[in-house]
Amino acid sequence: MTDQPPSPPPPPGFGPPPPQYAAPQYPPQYAPRAEPPPGPEFLAVDKHNSVVVDAAGVAFEMYDITVEFPWPEVRSVHYKASPNGKALMVAVVHVDGRVYECVVTAKPRERMQGWFAQLAWVLGHYRPTGY
């Protein structure tokens, strides 16, 4: 077994840069969205549709299609009873001016008053200057 002399150190200027000159480390560009802070929630559901209002924003589900509106994308939220008084109609006005609407049937009809009270309170929590 022959002994080999140790390899010489690399010449100056080779190897990794000193820490103060290293490339900065940035977080991944597509980091998962953080969970919104806990807060009040509103949920109205019927056989086909649902409306959810929470800390993340407003979400409509209509026949298994979900549309989410984060609060920064919401200009305003409006709601009223349907003309026959049997359904809650909720509309989101997007910041670009488009309007999206979801209708949820209240069964029994008395549920409507509870939905109105809770929805007004939750929207007031997240949009204190108006819906």
pLDDT tens-place values along the chain, 131 residues long = 566 777 766 666 666 666 666 666 655 555 555 665 678 999 999 999 999 999 999 999 999 899 999 999 999 999 999 999 999 999 999 999 999 999 999 988 889 999 999 999 999 999 877 66
Tell me the CATH architecture of domain 40-126. Answer: Roll (2.30)
Residues paired with 101 in a beta bridge: 91
Where are the chain's structural domains? 40-126
pTM tops 0.95: no
User: DSSP string covering 55-78, please?
Assistant: TTEEEEEETTEEEEEEGGGEEEEE
